[in-house]
Amino acid sequence: MTTPHLSQFPTGFTWGVATSSFQIEGSTFVDGRGESIWDRFCATEGKVKNGDHGEIACDHYNRFAEDIALMKSLGVKAYRFSIAWPRILPSGSETEPVEAGLAFYDRLVDALLEAGIEPWVTLYHWDLPQALQDEGGWLNRRIVERFVHYTEIVAKRLGDRVKHWITINEPWVICHLGYGVGEHAPGLKSIRHSLLAAHHVLLAHGAAVPVIRRHVSDAKVGITLNLCPSEPASESPWDIEANRSFDGFFNRWYLDPIFGRDYPADMVQEYTERGDFVDHATWIEEGDMETIAVETDFLGINYYSRAVIRSDKVSEEENWERTVFDDGPRTAFNWEVHAPSLERLLLRLTNDYGAKAIVVTENGASYPTAPDANGVVADVERQAYFEQHLSACASAIAKGATLTGYFAWSLLDNFEWAEGYEQRFGLVWVDFDTQQRIPKQSALWLRDFWS
Ligand code: IFM
């Protein structure tokens, strides 16, 4: 393994850590915050491991000052966090926002700037107001105007201090896991619906970008996609075909429209043949694809692992599945550690899509390493993960990739959605009983790397 060096990254490169509101804030029903789909999902038996929920999480709502001090001590230069929509508009669509909700993010932003840390705001990281779900959530086209209204309120309030904006985090997860297979809130199971939801998610992104620009003249705006570079398990035509389909389903369905290429024709055909894309003429309206292809300042990508695809015709619907390699290193989530795929992805986005600026808005790994008898968290695997992935970034940059920033996921061990508190991605260990925080060895390594 080569060791990355800061000098391999351009001047002005953004170095940060990331979190999201529901995963860390807690205080779910405090100061007028409304119910989110994740509160409802957690309260539904059998949806989240161990019956875990976000009511306390990392208690960041009350401990944000301590967490900012921690970031400062770790030499963090930028902090990506998300706004909880139900804190601002409890039912998603009120005319007037909740002042206490906005005031919390005011305090957070002010404290970050005071600490010399640049705030990067994500507007939507999955905690949709439940009241909006009750009117169909991302299946109802009205959500686009709801999202624009919410965006306008937040941009107006924070835009004097926040210059980096991400509209939406991980459309594939929102739509496929939330509406396609039901592993995430709101727990619906229809691929046809996941495609409809995806259209509205992308449309909401496209409609929100000019609104942010209108209120924040010097804003840098982007969207974050979770991408999974894939490759065929062999050179057999079946595996190559299965890989094309996986790439279309996971990556191109979102990348292509954002880059003005419309939905990929091969996938339109495939989904149509399966009966999942039959009524789109009723929901793709004139001008939608232009709205989605709005010019942005950067593309955010979240990278965790790759997929190796072999054909496995076990059902009519799916003709591919991921191959499981027995020999490669894996995280506690059983995700393969494969840094070369990050380099390949960055070069693909630069060369094939012409991405003018790419920011890795999340990259990290879950390992359970706990404090030893001396209170030291020796998470050597996570440190190695960062070393390998930063080397991959450096190598991609050397080959021309337009990478301009990197955020490690995540600042804190936190609520990992359907996995509850079992999967720990933090740079900082959190004892969920006492709320004690201990920076792990990987955090100290990153501090030394980027300081
Ligand atoms: O914790 C999540 C995050 O909310 C979105 N991206 C992936 C992370 C790890 O699963």
Confirm or reject: Cβ of 361 under 6 Å from ligand 1: no
pTM of the model: 0.98
Total residues found in the chain within this entry: 451
* Whether the CB of 256 sits within 6 Å of ligand 1: no
Rama region for 118: left / alpha / beta (φ>0; ψ in -120 to 50; rest): beta
User: What is the DSSP annotation of 44-60?
Assistant: STTSSGGG--SSSTT-H
- The angle formed by the CA atoms of residues 108, 112 and 115, to the nearest 5 degrees, is 140
- Closest C-alpha residue for ligand 1 atom 2: 416
Ligand 1 centre to CA of 19 (Å) is 9
Dihedral of the alpha carbons of 380, 384, 385, 390, in degrees to the nearest 10 = 140
Q: Is the CB of 416 under 6 A from ligand 1?
A: yes
First-to-last alpha carbon distance for the chain, in angstroms, is 22
User: How far away, in angstroms, is 227 Cα from ligand 1 center?
Assistant: 12
Where do the H-state alpha helices sit in 31-181? 37-42, 60-73, 85-88, 99-114, 130-134, 142-158, 171-172
Rounded-to-integer distance, Cα 239 and Cα 233, Å: 6
Query: How far apart are alpha carbons 402 and 405 in whole angstroms?
Result: 9
Reading phi first (left if > 0) and then psi (alpha if -120 to 50, else beta), residue 174 is in alpha
Provide the pLDDT for residue 2: 81
362 in ligand 1 pocket by Cβ < 6 Å? yes
pLDDT tens per residue, the chain (451 residues)?
A: 689 999 999 999 999 999 999 999 999 999 999 999 999 999 999 999 999 999 999 999 999 999 999 999 999 999 999 999 999 999 999 999 999 999 999 999 999 999 999 999 999 999 999 999 999 999 999 999 999 999 999 999 999 999 999 999 999 999 999 999 999 999 999 999 999 999 999 999 999 999 999 999 899 999 999 999 999 998 988 889 999 999 999 999 999 999 999 999 999 999 999 999 988 889 999 999 999 999 999 999 999 999 999 887 655 556 677 777 767 899 999 999 999 999 999 999 999 999 999 999 999 999 999 999 999 999 999 999 999 999 999 999 999 999 999 999 999 999 999 999 999 999 999 999 999 999 999 999 999 999 9
State the closest ligand 1 atom to the C-alpha of 364, by its place in the atom list counted from 1: 9
> Shortest CA distance to 184 belongs to which of 22, 335, 48, 321?
48
CB half-sphere exposure, 379, CA atoms < 13 A: 32
Using CA atoms, how far residue 392 sits from 2, 294, 345, 382, in Å, is 9, 29, 10, 15
pLDDT tens-digit series, residues 240-284: 999 999 999 999 999 999 999 999 999 999 999 999 998 888 999
CATH class of 6-450: alpha beta
Q: In ligand 1, which atom is closest to the CA atom of 302?
A: 6
Is the CB–ligand 1 distance for residue 19 below 6 Å? no
Separation CA 267–CA 274 (nearest Å): 10
Using most ligand atoms within 8 A of CB, pick from 173, 184, 334, 409 the residue to mutate for ligand 1: 409
**Confidence (pLDDT) at 280:** 87
Q: How far is the CA of 383 from the centre of ligand 1 (A)?
A: 18
Which residue owns the Cα nearest ligand 1 atom 9? 416
Cα separation, 203 vs 144, in Å, equals 7
Nearest to 19 by CA among 46, 57, 45: 57
Ligand 1 atom showing the smallest separation from residue 366 Cα? 9
Cα 138 to chain center, whole Å?
17
Residue spans of the domains in the chain: they are 6-450
For residue 99, the CA-to-ligand 1 centroid distance in Å is 29
Distances (CA, A) of 28 to 54, 84, 124, 335: 7, 10, 16, 30
Catalytic residues: 170, 362
The label of the residue with tokens 């190695």 reads 384
Rounded distance from Cα 269 to ligand 1 centre (Å): 31
Query: Given this model, what pLDDT does residue 369 score?
Result: 98
Pocket probe mutation, ligand 1, options 223, 333, 410, max atoms within 8 Å of Cβ: 410
Q: What is the number of the ligand 1 atom nearest to the C-alpha of 20?
A: 4
- Angle of the 265-274 helix axis to the 191-215 helix axis, nearest 10: 140
**Contact (Cβ atoms closer than 8 angstroms) between residue 212 and residue 219:** yes
Please answer whether residues 81 and 18 qualify as being in contact, where contact means their C-beta atoms are separated by less than 8 angstroms.
Answer: yes
